[in-house]
Structure 1
Amino acid sequence: MLVVGGGTVGLLTTALLTHHGVPAALVERRSGPSVHPRATGIAPRTVEVLRELGLDDAVDAAAVDLRGAAGKAVARTVVEMGAGEVKAVPMAEPPAGELDTTPFRLRGVCAQDRVDAVVAADLARRGVDLRWSTRLTGITQDADGVDVELDGPGGRYSLRCAHVVAADGTHSTVRTKLGVGTSGAGDLGKSMINILFRADLRPHLRGRSFGMCTITHPAARGLLATVDGQTDWVFHVECDLDGGERPEDFTPERCTAVVRAAVGDPGLDVEIRSVLPWRPRSVLADRFAVGRVFLVGDAAHAISPMGAFGLNTGVADAHNLAWKLAAVHHGEAGPELLDTYAQEREPVAAATMDQAMRRRADPALHWGRGPEADAARVAAGVWASPVVHLGQRYDSAAIVDPQPELPSTMDLATVLDGSPGSRVPHAWVDGVSTLDLVASRWTLLAGPAGDSWLTAAAEVGLPAHRVSAPWLPDEGALLVRPDAIVALRATNPVPDAARFLTDVLDRVLAKPVAVP
């Protein structure tokens, strides 16, 4: 397998393929993982994927502890914020019921470059083939494989792969060469300049902390976001193209002046580490799969940043695709299983883009707190953020009797009810989460009186566990896929349960029917 693109989604795609026992190589045009944070919102579902890979503790250690901090603040300058002249929305505390929906949460925000560093280091330790400073220049395919042309430190060469996963960003080279178009709103608003800088703001903050702060100073309007909460920060400012301003006008000297104005300290010691032009976009690829090539992350969908859905949606793409590629690679599934990647992920990506755009139209729908804000979200068709991240459901041939429609509720615990196509509910079983019990394998969860299901699972060779939970009938069972998605819900025992489970697995894995 070849993964094109060394951002977070590409790195995690490679990690997941390796985790499932698939030899994979990664190519990336940059010389290493990006040092520039592009996102800081790591959603619970992404944390669950990191936990599955055994990387959750390392990422949590790299996260900034923002418990008790302001999630979103507004101030004229950092100096005035420290003096108390600030409007702040507290960091959102999940409702008590929501805390019971996932086994682990990061203690705060973790900038994307920090996640990348953790994943890349783990891949390097495992001896995974990481080809930095390497560009893809050509791609063709036939019924049996994909041929790619690469240009790396040793010159140009070709490589033949079973499949290719394109995680090469919004302006994907792979997508372009395959002739896949896009639809959607396209570019949104003005071009932005993302200034990564190092400066000790602690004396000015006077003990205050925040995730993001809108700076309103006339000479430096923008959004200041924390990287480590102390000395590393990013500042997003607009680039006025209509006024003749260009991204290249933001020299280190200009950026230093802008940062000093935003902080309110003309003598601030500032180190400009990186300057990255970018523009919010909202586009969806017309196809997520072309033959043996699959698009994930921004190559498949660019999502408006309001809501922090973009990165996390890309990680969900990788999580959905990796086990399917592994099942086909290992001969455990028919190639038609790979068709379910696009069947499942395209509708979810489209729904997520819609949710981000609704928030962009009125940011209060995202940041608002309390009953009035909840009522406004319902009226505007805006789902609660946890539902967007964790509650969406799949509808494909890899699920038996899927139930893709979400309940009309803002309560994630109600949405995660064990329905086929949904993420299996989290519950503790002897101190272990049901998500951890799945452990990247097909798994059966049986109700308290589901002895026949446990016996059948043993005959078939499925890991099985007894679970007592309101979403699992006493004599029922859930068959859970390696990506923790419920593939089957049975409410009662069935005759010859072992044969039944075998038939279901053959069906959802698209195994060829044996001919006598």
Structure 2
Amino acid sequence: MTDTTYPEVPVLVVGGGSVGLLTAALLVHHGVPAVLVERRAGPSVHPRATGIGPRTVEVLRELGLDAAADAKAVDLRGAVGKAVARTVVEMGAGDVVTVPMPTPVEGELELTPFRLRGVCAQDRLDAVVAADLVRRGADLRWSTRLVGIAQDADGVDVELEGPDGRHRLRCAHVVAADGAHSAVRNALGIGTSGPGDLGKTMINILFRADLRPHLRGLSFATCTITVPEAPGLLVTVDGATDWVFHVTCDVEAGERPEDFTPERCAAIVRTAVGDPDLDVEVRSVLPWRPRSALADRFTSGRVFLVGDAAHTVSPLGAFGLNTGVADAHNLAWKLAAVHRGEAGAGLLDTYAHEREPVAAATLDQALRRLGDPRLHWGRGPEADAARQAAGVWAAPVVHLGQRYDSAAVVDPHPELPSTVDLVLDGTPGSRVPHAWVDGVSTLDLVSSRWTLLVGTAGDRWLAAASEVGLPAHRVSAPWLSAEGAMLVRPDGIVALRVVAPAGDPVRFLTGVLDQVLARPVAVSSA
């Protein structure tokens, strides 16, 4: 066995799924040379999720990966969102019940600068992010697993086992993105709460078969197949030859996941399609079970939990992956600021203060949908009334509308003004409103930096921002007064909004940055 000691690294990311890859990508984007370790030999080829939410698309845009992800997405513009049919053959023949793709409410297309044209399966997203990390020279260590972790006041010692033996690594911080059964979380003794496993064990069959002749031009995101011999959920991966079919493993009847051999899975697919002669290639078979659990805490010293390691979200609503990406987005710039000496260590405390309540609310919203999918898919006044009665928020509110309350926000207002309509009005703690400024979105103006947006008469703010070293832009918008200013964090969250300058704006901005960045303030001896 080789025993080598590596030099200290700023941040170690454990886990190479979508959230781990995006955590590493965001850290590299902010100038932190992170190391990522993953026990698998490379990115997963099995898509576990297909719903990329609007906030995740904004993060991809920040990384310059939105166009690449869009190129990998299936074009579902004008397609069916959800279908119900006995078989695929009968669906293509017109014997199908359909629910349209969720259409943006009035004005919703003005709330974010870019949308994917359709679903982008998780394996496709991972391939895009992993390739970009390689291009940037990131340190990705596949076939490597964490076998030990211990920390003290100054750092984290980890032991890794890889193709060339065991290695010890000294890290400033560790980010655990290693899934629902996180080895890091368990090693730290962090428990979870919540209902845990939900419903029956499912089998996720990734297969390749050309279904286009049977579909006859029909495209959809998901289709519930009802044929009694092979009921399940068919999910689009590329809309042509790559698909996922979810079926139930009846454990109570004596079935086991290992009973679902490739041969049996191919037969199930043929029955669900309605073509006994269909050429089927079963590429991967994964058992899974819906789960809802929340880690008792998201941080332990210098270790941070993100994604499924911090929260496992039941699938209806497509909130799970997107909540994990939001964790990474919240944490990466804070780690970078501390690493560069621009912020005090106290800034890292705001990660848990901000993300734990949001994750808990998201888990609750997913659970409320689980019992009655119509609460998510339903459209019209009756569906709106049913959602309101069940305490179900509109999906855009869950994805984009939640607000932070922490020391990294001045005068936060975490309460939601509406759970029916998405309200992005510049309130501190909320995502900065999207508006076009000379053809550039305000989100693009922020561009991963502290940024000051000023009103049309904000000359004093512009001068102060120049002196402090802040990028500043003049914006004409109803959520910003003419003499007002809005300080936006690198993650696009509004940290401060003021109506007009009072006193010296340079001293004011400096004091605010010292406060939200948890920087020690020098005390004059005079």
**TM-score, normalised by the number of residues in structure 1:** 0.99
SS in 2 for 1:163: strand
Alpha-carbon offset, residue 8 of structure 1: 0.2
User: Out of 273, 281, 288, which is 1:278 matched to?
Assistant: 288
Structure 1 residue 85 and structure 2 residue 88: aligned?
A: no
**1:455 and 1:379 mapped to 2: Cα distance?**
51
User: Out of 347, 366, 369, which is 1:356 matched to?
Assistant: 366
Alpha-carbon offset, residue 375 of structure 1: 1.7
Structure 1 residue 221 and structure 2 residue 231: aligned?
A: yes
The aligned residue for residue 114 of structure 1 is 124
User: Out of 183, 191, 194, which is 1:184 matched to?
Assistant: 194
**1:408 and 1:210 mapped to 2: Cα distance?**
31
Alpha-carbon offset, residue 117 of structure 1: 0.1
The aligned residue for residue 379 of structure 1 is 389
Structure 1 residue 172 and structure 2 residue 182: aligned?
A: yes
SS in 2 for 1:441: coil
**2:432 and 2:200 mapped to 1: Cα distance?**
41
Alpha-carbon offset, residue 385 of structure 1: 0.3
Alpha-carbon offset, residue 515 of structure 1: 4.0
The aligned residue for residue 419 of structure 1 is 427
Alpha-carbon offset, residue 377 of structure 1: 1.1
Identity among equivalent pairs (%)? 82
User: Out of 469, 472, 478, which is 2:477 matched to?
Assistant: 469
The aligned residue for residue 504 of structure 1 is 512
- Deviations, residues 43-79 of structure 1 (Å, cap 9, x unaligned): 0000000000000000000000001111000000000
User: Out of 202, 205, 217, which is 1:207 matched to?
Assistant: 217
**1:459 and 1:129 mapped to 2: Cα distance?**
37
SS in 2 for 1:108: coil
**1:513 and 1:463 mapped to 2: Cα distance?**
23
**1:231 and 1:396 mapped to 2: Cα distance?**
47
- Deviations, residues 391-416 of structure 1 (Å, cap 9, x unaligned): 0000000000000000134221xx10
- Deviations, residues 454-499 of structure 1 (Å, cap 9, x unaligned): 1111111100000001111111111000000000010122110110
SS in 1 for 2:58: helix
Amino acid at match of 2:101: M
Verify the 8 A CA contact 2:204 2:245 in the aligned structure 1: yes
**1:16 and 1:361 mapped to 2: Cα distance?**
36
Amino acid at match of 1:182: T
Unaligned runs of 5+ in 2: 1-10
Structure 1 residue 392 and structure 2 residue 402: aligned?
A: yes
Aligned pairs for 1:141-160 (under 5 A) are 141-160=151-170
**1:361 and 1:392 mapped to 2: Cα distance?**
23
Unaligned runs of 5+ in 1: none
- Structure 1 stretches of at least 4 aligned residues deviating more than 6 Å after TM superposition: none
Structure 1 residue 483 and structure 2 residue 468: aligned?
A: no
Amino acid at match of 1:263: V
User: Out of 306, 315, 329, which is 1:296 matched to?
Assistant: 306
Alpha-carbon offset, residue 267 of structure 1: 0.6
**1:457 and 1:411 mapped to 2: Cα distance?**
34
Structure 1 residue 39 and structure 2 residue 53: aligned?
A: no
Aligned pairs for 1:100-139 (under 5 A) are 100-139=110-149
**2:253 and 2:193 mapped to 1: Cα distance?**
28
SS in 2 for 1:174: helix
The aligned residue for residue 514 of structure 1 is 522
Amino acid at match of 1:479: L
Deviates more, 1:379-388 or 1:25-34: 379-388
**1:372 and 1:475 mapped to 2: Cα distance?**
44
**1:402 and 1:331 mapped to 2: Cα distance?**
25
The aligned residue for residue 250 of structure 1 is 260
Alpha-carbon offset, residue 451 of structure 1: 1.4
Amino acid at match of 2:517: L
Verify the 8 A CA contact 2:37 2:141 in the aligned structure 1: yes
Alpha-carbon offset, residue 371 of structure 1: 1.8
**1:76 and 1:242 mapped to 2: Cα distance?**
25
Amino acid at match of 1:235: F
**1:219 and 1:25 mapped to 2: Cα distance?**
47
- Deviations, residues 161-181 of structure 1 (Å, cap 9, x unaligned): 000000000000000000000
User: Out of 312, 327, 343, which is 1:333 matched to?
Assistant: 343
Amino acid at match of 1:22: V
Structure 1 residue 433 and structure 2 residue 435: aligned?
A: no
User: Out of 73, 83, 97, which is 1:63 matched to?
Assistant: 73
Alpha-carbon offset, residue 237 of structure 1: 0.4
The aligned residue for residue 4 of structure 2 is none
**2:257 and 2:127 mapped to 1: Cα distance?**
27
Alpha-carbon offset, residue 211 of structure 1: 0.3
Root-mean-square deviation over aligned CA pairs: 0.7
Alpha-carbon offset, residue 96 of structure 1: 2.9
**2:227 and 2:502 mapped to 1: Cα distance?**
68
Alignment size in residue pairs: 514
Deviates more, 1:164-173 or 1:400-409: 400-409
- Deviations, residues 411-440 of structure 1 (Å, cap 9, x unaligned): 21xx10100000000000000000000000
**TM-score, normalised by the number of residues in structure 2:** 0.97
Verify the 8 A CA contact 2:405 2:412 in the aligned structure 1: yes
Alpha-carbon offset, residue 303 of structure 1: 0.3
User: Out of 440, 444, 453, which is 1:445 matched to?
Assistant: 453
